[in-house]
Structures are given as structure tokens and as C-alpha cells.
Amino acid sequence: MIRGTTTIGMGRLAGAALIALLGLGPAHAQTASAPAAAPTMASVEPEEPFTHTLPDWSPHWGLVRGGWENGGTRIWNGDTGKMVGLVATGRWSDIALDPKRRAIYVSETIWTKVNRGTRQDMLTVYDPKTMALVTEIPLPGRLIIGTMKNNFVLSDDGKQAFIYNFSPASSVNVVDLEKRKVAQVVELPGCASLVPVTGVGFSALCSDGTLATVTVGPKTSTVSHSQPFFKAAEDGVFDCFVYDRTKGEIVTVTYTGLVRTVKLGASPTIGDAWSIQAAAGVRPGDTRPLDINWFPGGRQAMALHRATGKLFVLMHRGEYWTQKDDGEEVWVVDMASRKVVKRVPLKKPIGNIEVTQDAKPLLFLSGDNGLVQVMDLATYEIKHDIERGGGGMIVTPDVD
């Protein structure tokens, strides 16, 4: 009896607890089936579509490719370390900026079914303020490779584009950017890595050690070659050479560390070679196997600040044929005196380097781990570490 009474009492207590939990007293329990009052809905402001525009371009911006596996080129503000925009660049593309910042150009190859289907080669034009698509210029072909610094270059006046092609031999698509069409295709067997030549056309490095110069005419072009000045099989030249448009010359570096300038023109002038290691007081590099020394390396291994004549080169400890290894230090070379004036150790290996061209330059660095660093060249201190900022090629805007 006691157990039964206890059970009944617990049942009543449970029922009372349920009513209390629901907030229902005796009176409420009798009217529980009455409809509840409709809740008052907050007013919702209608959404209005809008488009952001970029602020005026700054010489302290750096455009960093996402790397081999990550699409897009992010525009970073070197002063704040913040991203200000994104350019649509896929794996099989190269990017170039109009010298007057009137457009962003992307030479690219895509397929209608991502990795198959109909192939489309084009030069895509984007608005530099809104990043909106302006137009697409069909190309007869282009080399299917991306993130190469000198596969796609513009003339100094921004009126022509030169796009390296391979179908089935080396050639260059000359694009009229004012008329928005391909003007001609120049056959250039055995040559690649392009640079504009003011008043002439363009030049390219060739596997026989020469520099090819292409004089671009209205309908046809002529090709001439310099004397050989390097041996590709013995001591190749980095394809990421730098171009000084104020002097009309390029600075080349070989795998062993030989620096040379080439004055561009219809008949280019080849300068003499000198060792970057010797310029730093280090034993010059050579091609002997298993001989550990300081060597240049990286995908975008050098950058030039034109106004000061400072060359920044990524250097690492290794042996010959390690030209793709990331840099452990940045060597600052005074091109006038041919001396390494500073060696800057890096906390993490870096494969890409570029410098802004203003009076207070910044150095942009990127590596395979996606880290982007911004270095203040007044102090050689890192201003910003940007995680997952991009690991590919770097482009900085020109200055007026």
C-alpha cells in the first residue's frame, strides 16, 4: 500500500511539474486549446545590390598569385597588410598590368568542361577599378603554363601585348590592345622569355645563348640574333630576368650567379659578366657537383628597384642545379658599384620576390606555404606576415 500510494503521488507531482513547465496554471489548463496571438514581425529593410570600387591604385600594392593549386590573384596593400581586391586568374594563366593602370590583362587557357571539352585561348581584359570583365580577345593559341613572369609582357606604352605560344613550335602572339585583336603571330623557334623593346618590338632569350630581337612591322616582322653570351646546358640564365624600362636594358643572372646587363635595341649590347658571390666577398659559384656554395634560386628570384639601381636576389646554400630552391637570404646588390651592400636573412624560405618602384620601396615576398611577407626597405624589417596570402608570382604597379 505504501509503495502504491507513493507511486500515485509521484504521478500527480509529475503532472503538476509538466503544467508548471509549460507555464500553465489551473485556469490556463482549461483554455490551453485557444489559439495563440500572432507574433509581431520586425520590419525588414529591402536589400539593394551594389558594387565596390577599388580606391586609387597605390605603388605599395602587390598582386600575388595564389600559387599552383589556388586560383585568383590577390591584391594586397603593403602599408596595411589588408586585401583590397581579387583578380580572377586560373592555373593556366599569366597576368600583366597596363603601365598607366588603365586595365588588368590575363592571358589564359580554359576548357568548357574544366579539364576537357573545347579549348579556349584568350586575352581577358578587366576594369582596374571595379574588376569587372571588359572584353575577351580570342587567341590562336598560347603556351599552356601559368605563373611565369616573362611569358606575357606589354609594350611600355601599353598598346601591344606579347604572348608566348607553343603550337607546335615557339611563337609569339602580337596583340593590338587598342583594336583588341591579334595583329600577327611571329615564329620564334628555340626562344622564350620575352621583354618589350621600345620603338622596335620585343626580344627573347634563346636556347643557343643568343638574344633574339623581333622588329614588329604592320603585317610582318623580322628576327635577328645577338652573339651568344651564355651556354644554356652549362650555366643557364634565369627566365625571371628583370627589365629596367628607364634604361632600356635587362639584368640577367645565371644559375652559378653571374650577373650581366643587356642594353636592348635593334642591335643589343651585351655587357660583361661578374659574380654576385664575389661581390659579397664569397667564393664565386661554379658547376662542380657536390660543391656547396651560395647560389641564386627560386621561381621569381630577383627584383630591381630602378631609381636606386638596387638588385634584390634570393640566395640559398646548395650545389649547382639547385636553381629552383627557395631563398634563405636576400642579397642587396648595388648595380653601379657591383657590390652586395647587404645580406638579409629570412625566417622562412621564400621563392618569389618583387619590389615597389616608389621612393619608399617595399619588398613583397611569397613562398609555397602561402605566406606573403612585406618588408620595409628603410629598415629591412617585416611589416606584415600574411598567412595564406598566396604563394605564386608577384606583380607591383608601375609609377607615373
Question: pLDDT tens-digit profile of 206-255?
Answer: 999 999 999 999 989 999 999 999 999 999 999 999 999 999 999 999 99
Whether 370 maps to a domain, the answer reads yes
Q: So what's the pLDDT on residue 41?
A: 67
Whether 11 maps to a domain, the answer reads no
Domains of the chain: total = 1
Q: So what's the pLDDT on residue 192?
A: 93
> How many Å apart are CA 324 and CA 130, to the nearest integer?
36
Q: Which of 356, 353, 358 is nearest to 372 (CA)?
A: 353
Whether 38 maps to a domain, the answer reads no
Which pTM value belongs to this model? 0.86
Asked whether the CA dihedral 65, 248, 166, 109 is positive or negative, the reply is positive
Q: Which residues of the chain have pLDDT under 50?
A: 1-32
DSSP β-bridge partners for residue 314? 330
Pairing of strands 170-176, 181-187: antiparallel
Q: State the CB neighbour count (10 A cutoff) for residue 122.
A: 17
| CA 204 to chain CA mean position, Å | 21
Whether 141 maps to a domain, the answer reads yes
Q: What is the CATH number of the domain that holds 222?
A: 2.130.10.10
Helix spans in the chain (H): 2-21, 26-30, 276-279
Whether 256 maps to a domain, the answer reads yes
Whether 48 maps to a domain, the answer reads no
State which residues form the domain around 149. 62-395
Whether 57 maps to a domain, the answer reads no
Whether 28 maps to a domain, the answer reads no
Q: So what's the pLDDT on residue 33?
A: 53
